[in-house]
Structure 1
């Protein structure tokens, strides 16, 4: 499970910013550690804020961290997207840094990478087992240092300056590195935009989760009463009875809801981290709320899947009056006086009240 994520010098982020999904003693899921004890980890993390505050930057950084560990070609494509903070001349000369902390099979890992265009400036992998942190490897421009028992010397000697050692370990299925890379590969991004994915998503869902799909769409107040599995059409209630309609006839909101379900239902079964940008832009808040409740439910989410998402504002209480998100699951992205994104628990102070913008425009048109 994802525990923490840190980023620096990426797009609108200049200084080190951190998201944490660690929970208090009475919240989240209890995840056992290999050496005994448990960690409380949240299945949800929402980043909220105004337009251009840097919300999407956090999700793009997490997705790029995945790309840096998957395969050599993905790493080279990721470093080509080197995009440092532009409003500070000094930052343009520095590398971007990402560091992710996560738990796999009871072992706590920290993987980090610093890169510039076509160059891995630094890379490190630490593992904590039995309350002892071990440096599996550390890499900088002077070379790579690794544990003798890891048997990484030959791989390190062949490591290209523009490729991560972790991605090379994944390619050759190294017994230490491949499981770490596989967890990072499980981070998935879903873009909730209506379009061609509806048919493929329905095919996947109708084949494996037909009962769950029928239940979720028929109770979503979309006018849908069922799913016609053979032709992959949604059945709507009509004047003369049920009418199956193709994907072209569905609303944008329905398509976005199905796109979310196509990604979410498999992850509830196998686990992983799902990234969704602008969750409230394409999906109705009531449906988004229900998706969050699926992840919070210990019985419906046995694999402890996690959702990291952005939205404009935190969701209000559900129809039962209970909060959808705990305070520790809410983060705000704001801009400081230098134009850099800051992540915090506190929202930004309001700059414009209702009608303020219209009044400013009216005043600007008056003769001086």
Structure 2
């Protein structure tokens, strides 16, 4: 589970910005997830975090930062590729000389871990992994350009030698490749950050085919309730086709259509379900940019309701999403607002100040034209 994420010097983010999914009261009754700890009391975690804001405010930057964090932890080759795509804040010449920093607090096998890294063009210049048991912190390893300091019983010496020879990857990613008994669960938790595309033209409906046998009843219920004119799901030939209700005046009854006969909105809903249904069973964190770009607000509300219901979300899956409008089904503590200040993105709990009204904008444009006239 993802508890907290911090980012610095990445794209439109200059200063440290933090996104937390730790539940903050007051939450709607039954909307939070309870995560037991091996050491200490259980923590209450929110299943949702939405980032809202105007165009170019940095909403997508937050989602992209989480995707980059995943790449840096998932495998050695992915980490090398992510480090090569160094993309610092570019409006301040000083920040181009500084590394990008990510840090995530996650819950893996009932233990809270904090993993972070700092990288520049093709080089990881810092990395750390700490575990917390109650009020006690255990430093599993800390790495900088001078070397790697590790916990002796963790037996990380071979990995420390490997990153000394290849500073373009992370020690955690190499531990994932080596299936290290202690570190692999942390890497797997971060690798479970899953970007999901629900944009027009993605058309990933074929991804539902391998889910047909297991999820046909759930798919039938969800698409039939979506108000899309769909009566059910046909999986007779091993693939998924939606059965459309032709209405009482039609000469034929309900008929199935192929994927390319469906609307973009329907395909987007299916794309989301293709990721959402397995997540409800296995857990993980879904990352969805522009959630409301194609989906109708009622479908957005339905997806959020599924994740927010602990009876359905037993695996404690989470969703971090960006959207233009705030779904009324989200709690205030689940809302983050991206605003620009001095060209840099900030994450706030309150929405930014209102922009110019159409009349004020027209007046400003007219005055600007007068000032620029010879």
Same structural fold, with TM-score higher than 0.5 when normalized by the shorter chain: yes
The aligned residue for residue 204 of structure 1 is 210
Q: How many angstroms does 1:166 deviate by? A: 0.6
CA distance in 2, matches of 1:365, 1:110: 53
CA distance in 2, matches of 1:299, 1:236: 30
CA distance in 2, matches of 1:291, 1:129: 34
CA distance in 1, matches of 2:225, 2:359: 37
Contact 2:13 2:346 in 1 (8 A): yes
Change (3 A) 1:195 1:313: closer
In structure 2, the gaps of 5 or more residues are: none
Query: What does residue range 268-307 of structure 1 map to in structure 2 within 5 Å?
Result: 268-307=280-319
Q: How many angstroms does 1:364 deviate by? A: 6.9
The aligned residue for residue 78 of structure 2 is 74
The aligned residue for residue 18 of structure 1 is 18
Question: Which region of structure 1 is more displaced relative to structure 2, 302-311 or 191-200?
Answer: 191-200
Question: Which region of structure 1 is more displaced relative to structure 2, 18-27 or 297-306?
Answer: 18-27
How many pairs does the alignment contain? Answer: 360
Question: Which region of structure 1 is more displaced relative to structure 2, 190-199 or 212-221?
Answer: 190-199
The aligned residue for residue 237 of structure 1 is 245
Q: Deviations over 1:277-296 (max 9, x none)?
A: 01010111110011001000
Q: How many angstroms does 1:202 deviate by? A: 2.6
Normalised TM-score (structure 2): 0.92
CA distance in 2, matches of 1:263, 1:92: 36
The aligned residue for residue 319 of structure 1 is none
Does 1:121 find its partner at 2:134?
no
Contact 1:198 1:247 in 2 (8 A): no
Contact 2:25 2:333 in 1 (8 A): no
Does 1:42 find its partner at 2:46?
yes
Could you say what the CA RMSD is over the residues aligned between the two structures, in angstroms?
Answer: 1.8
Normalised TM-score (structure 1): 0.94
Query: What does residue range 305-324 of structure 1 map to in structure 2 within 5 Å?
Result: 305-316=317-328, 324=329
Question: Which region of structure 1 is more displaced relative to structure 2, 172-181 or 327-336?
Answer: 172-181
Residue 333 (structure 1) aligned to one of 335, 338, 348 = 338
Change (3 A) 1:286 1:359: farther
DSSP 3-state at the match of 1:174 = coil
Q: How many angstroms does 1:243 deviate by? A: 1.7
DSSP 3-state at the match of 1:280 = coil
Contact 2:293 2:323 in 1 (8 A): yes
CA distance in 1, matches of 2:240, 2:35: 38
Question: Which region of structure 1 is more displaced relative to structure 2, 27-36 or 221-230?
Answer: 27-36
Contact 1:204 1:262 in 2 (8 A): no
Contact 2:51 2:323 in 1 (8 A): yes
Query: What does residue range 1-368 of structure 1 map to in structure 2 within 5 Å?
Result: 1-24=1-24, 27=27, 28-159=32-163, 160-195=166-201, 197-229=203-235, 230=237, 231-238=239-246, 239-240=250-251, 241-316=253-328, 324-336=329-341, 338-354=342-358, 356-357=360-361
CA distance in 1, matches of 2:283, 2:257: 32
Contact 1:25 1:40 in 2 (8 A): no
CA distance in 1, matches of 2:334, 2:45: 10
Contact 2:109 2:185 in 1 (8 A): no
Stretches of 4+ aligned residues off by more than 6 angstroms: 362-368
Q: Deviations over 1:38-87 (max 9, x none)?
A: 11110000000000000111111111111001111101110111100000
CA distance in 2, matches of 1:286, 1:358: 35
Q: Deviations over 1:158-190 (max 9, x none)?
A: 221111011111111111111111111111000
The aligned residue for residue 321 of structure 1 is none
